[in-house]
Amino acid sequence: MAIVTVRRISQVFFFLLFVWFSFVSTAGEEWWELRGWPANWFLQLDPLVALVTFLATFTFYAGLLWALLTILLTLVLGRFFCGWVCPFGTLQHFMGYWSGRFETLGHLQQKNRYHPYQVIKYYLLVFLLSMALGVALQKIIQAGLWTALLLYGGIALCLLLLFRETWLGEKKSKAIASVFFLAGASGLLAAFLQGGHRILASSVQTGLLDPIPLMHRSLNLFLFPVLGEPFRRGVVEPRLYEGAWVIGLIFVAVLLLCLKIPRFYCRFICPLGALMGILGKWALYRVGKTRVNCRDCSVCEAHCEGACEPMGAIRQHECVLCMNCLDDCHHGVMGYGTSRSLGGERDAPDISRRGLVLTVAAGVVSIPSMRLSGLLASNRDPHLVRPPGALREEEFLQRCIKCGQCMRICPTNIIHPGDFSHGVESLWTPVLNFRVGTSGCQLNCVACGHICPTAAIRPISLEEKLGEGRFADVGPVRMGMAFVDLGRCLPWTMDLPCIVCQENCPVSPKAIVVHEVFRPIRDPVHRVHSVMENDFIVVTLERLALQPARLATGDYYVRWVGEEARWRIQRNTEREIELVPQARGHISTQEGNEIEILVRLHLPQVDPHRCIGCGVCEHECPVTGKRAIRVTAENESREKRHSMILHGS
């Protein structure tokens, strides 16, 4: 069996597996729902996820250890993941193949030639990783000024030794290198004096470009919803995701670009591919010329997926082990083995040292620059309500890889990809929108935390979420606080009876209490023509003043002007009002008296000690545009600084 056949089988296998895993990420126990499917396996295998969260948190969370397997295999075999496993790569590969089916060899060779811009992905990788360096640098600083300087000096020395040819060669390089060294040292000093808090911070942003989260996101938020979600449990309305069109656009755009340049994303953008390329530098097995009888016919380069120039000095860091060159070569020159290619090799990308240092600095500085807008401090966005179990914002942004799994699994469709309004770093991170979906956050659901691959949303137990048992004195997990908008709430401002929010509040005792008030309706006063007390008690008015049956809902009362007592209205016509039997014998039958019609209103008020910000009230509020009760992030339990009420009160 040809190796390329197996490669194709492998690609199809992992692609289907990936799509299946994304598809089953819905809460439930049927075979098409999550059950025990290891739906995060690809995210766990992804070494970029493990690496960047390690840099930001100094932990490997749970299943992320799978990444070690990928790293091990890559160290030994090369970029097998790109060519054999990565589903995004497979998709692009297919697009490229599809467009190139009937093209000439010459045209194909042109398309698959190496392009110098393929080096961009390495800069992107370094930039993204540098954004996560803040915590590591802070730890160095916390170790003490002299330790920090020593370590810094040590690292600089290592870099110097490793790249001594370049540093010591050109004078210009030496000057620039010294400048950067001093700049770095002063930056470190400044950071140290400041306690490091202002300048150094970590943010995980690899999720934007890492293909595994990207593909999960594109499937979960764009493709599946657009196709209609056939098997989704209890779908009453189509799933919606704010801003998903952008995600879809990017996805489709990349695939379309692949029609022009095969594996466009893999070659130019993919930071995971770049990481694999770096890891594969010492690979024990590599593709290359195993025979000396190469005719330089370029047939091997026609279908080269990585655009790695196998005919010349093969660029090992670009080779994705597609094995097409092995298969295509008529003379059996190409092979896969332990020797280096007889035609020569390049095993490291063309990154300039200057560029490298600049990129690192840019990455490290970018995060504090972004944080100047104070969105993580006093200028925080009150509409940033995160799912229950989410970590404090600083720590959350050190873990979230924007994979969209939580958004897919949420049974009520209230988790949405955030947009720029919550901050650049919060793009596509989970934000709650209670207006959309089938209800607020369900009281007994803890699905989102259990599917998050990096524990940006912690896997809390139901006990912890409800504040029971061991967590009774900590209290329930609060996502925010509901606030009644008095200017929009129907009973408060329009004298329309409504207690939908209080009825639907799911906690016990309820977090919404009502105050009963009686208010005169519009044009409340009428003159009595006569009163009849027979089987029914009917008050007839002098004029036709009422809308028939409008007062019959059980919320309307009659009060004789000058008296205290109120009597509920059972029915009414345009001129007659029927009162409850209890009124018998207590009302004045004199004609000419004036009565006032009152409406009984229950004015909702949120109890801040009970409200957990689940948003059910907001979702059910009949004022469907801008809701009359809205949840914002005050008093969220994940951030003590945002607490609104006293503990233990």
Nearest-approach distance from CB 348 to another protein, in angstroms: 13
The residue (of 8 and 559) whose beta carbon lies closer to another protein is: 8
The residue (of 221 and 441) whose beta carbon lies closer to another protein is: 441
Nearest-approach distance from CB 493 to another protein, in angstroms: 27
Are the C-beta atoms of 121 and 48 separated by less than 8 Å?
no
Q: What are φ and ψ of residue 625, in 5° steps?
A: -80, -95
The residue (of 410 and 597) whose beta carbon lies closer to another protein is: 410
Interaction between residue 647 and another protein (CB under 8 A): yes
Nearest-approach distance from CB 284 to another protein, in angstroms: 6
The residue (of 209 and 279) whose beta carbon lies closer to another protein is: 279
The residue (of 65 and 496) whose beta carbon lies closer to another protein is: 65
- Interface with another protein in residues 188-217 (CB under 8 A): 195, 197
Nearest-approach distance from CB 648 to another protein, in angstroms: 5
DSSP one-letter code for 554: S
Q: Cα 255 vs. chain centroid, distance in angstroms? A: 22
Residue 562's identity, in one-letter code, is G
Distance CA 476, CA 505 (A): 15
Distance CA 224, CA 24 (A): 11
The residue (of 35 and 174) whose beta carbon lies closer to another protein is: 35
Interface pick for another protein out of 99, 166, 290, 442 (rule CB under 8 A): 442
Per-residue mark of binding to another protein, 55-74 (x: CB under 8 A): --xxxxxx--x--x--xx--
Distance CA 582, CA 578 (A): 12
Nearest-approach distance from CB 175 to another protein, in angstroms: 32
Distance CA 429, CA 315 (A): 36
Interaction between residue 186 and another protein (CB under 8 A): no
Residue 430's identity, in one-letter code, is P
- Interface with another protein in residues 622-641 (CB under 8 A): 640-641
Choose the binding region for another protein from 167-175, 301-309, 387-395, 432-440 (rule: CB under 8 A). 387-395
Interaction between residue 368 and another protein (CB under 8 A): no
Interface pick for another protein out of 300, 311, 385, 466 (rule CB under 8 A): 466
Choose the binding region for another protein from 172-180, 419-427, 460-468, 581-589 (rule: CB under 8 A). 460-468
Instruction: Give the number of other Cβ atoms within 10 Å of residue 1's Cβ.
Output: 6
- Interface with another protein in residues 498-527 (CB under 8 A): 508-509
Per-residue mark of binding to another protein, 399-418 (x: CB under 8 A): ------------x-------
Nearest-approach distance from CB 277 to another protein, in angstroms: 14
Radius of gyration from C-alpha coordinates of the chain: 33
Q: Are strands 345-346 and 314-315 parallel, antiparallel or unpaired?
A: parallel
Closest CA to 64 of 399, 545, 382: 399
- Interface with another protein in residues 470-499 (CB under 8 A): 474
- Interface with another protein in residues 336-355 (CB under 8 A): 338-340
**249 Cβ contact list (under 8 Å, min separation 6):** none
Interface pick for another protein out of 460, 611, 617, 628 (rule CB under 8 A): 460
Per-residue mark of binding to another protein, 2-41 (x: CB under 8 A): xx-xx--xx--x---x---------xxx-x--xxxxx--x
Interaction between residue 392 and another protein (CB under 8 A): yes
SS3 357: helix
Are the C-beta atoms of 471 and 464 separated by less than 8 Å?
yes
The residue (of 4 and 159) whose beta carbon lies closer to another protein is: 4
Distance CA 476, CA 473 (A): 9
- Interface with another protein in residues 220-259 (CB under 8 A): 233
SS3 287: strand
Instruction: Dig out the tokens for 247 from the structure.
Output: 């995600």
Residue 414's identity, in one-letter code, is I
DSSP one-letter code for 445: -
Distance CA 202, CA 51 (A): 13
Interface pick for another protein out of 468, 542, 574, 591 (rule CB under 8 A): 468
Nearest-approach distance from CB 66 to another protein, in angstroms: 10
Q: Which residues of 287-298 are buried (b: 16+ CB within 10 A; e: fewer)?
A: bbbeeeebeeeb
Interaction between residue 617 and another protein (CB under 8 A): no
Place of tokens 């948003």: 615
- Interface with another protein in residues 125-164 (CB under 8 A): none
Distance CA 270, CA 237 (A): 36
Element (DSSP H or E) covering residue 375: none
- Interface with another protein in residues 295-324 (CB under 8 A): none
Nearest-approach distance from CB 65 to another protein, in angstroms: 5
**563 Cβ contact list (under 8 Å, min separation 6):** none
Are the C-beta atoms of 413 and 221 separated by less than 8 Å?
no
Nearest-approach distance from CB 425 to another protein, in angstroms: 18
The residue (of 138 and 593) whose beta carbon lies closer to another protein is: 138
**175 Cβ contact list (under 8 Å, min separation 6):** none
Nearest-approach distance from CB 529 to another protein, in angstroms: 45
Choose the binding region for another protein from 128-136, 221-229, 438-446, 619-627 (rule: CB under 8 A). 438-446
Interface pick for another protein out of 111, 267, 371, 458 (rule CB under 8 A): 458
The residue (of 526 and 619) whose beta carbon lies closer to another protein is: 619
Instruction: Give the number of other Cβ atoms within 10 Å of residue 384's Cβ.
Output: 20
Choose the binding region for another protein from 305-313, 351-359, 464-472, 595-603 (rule: CB under 8 A). 464-472
As a residue count, the chain comes to 649
Interface pick for another protein out of 19, 54, 257, 527 (rule CB under 8 A): 54
CA dihedral sign of residues 31, 33, 37, 43? positive
CA dihedral sign of residues 190, 194, 197, 198? negative
Task: Report how many residues bind another protein under the rule CB under 8 A.
Answer: 80
- DSSP letters, 493-544, are HH-----HHHHH--SSS-SEEEEEEEEEEEEEEEEEEEEEESSSEEEEESS-
The residue (of 71 and 603) whose beta carbon lies closer to another protein is: 71
Nearest-approach distance from CB 60 to another protein, in angstroms: 5
- Interface with another protein in residues 255-294 (CB under 8 A): 279, 282-284
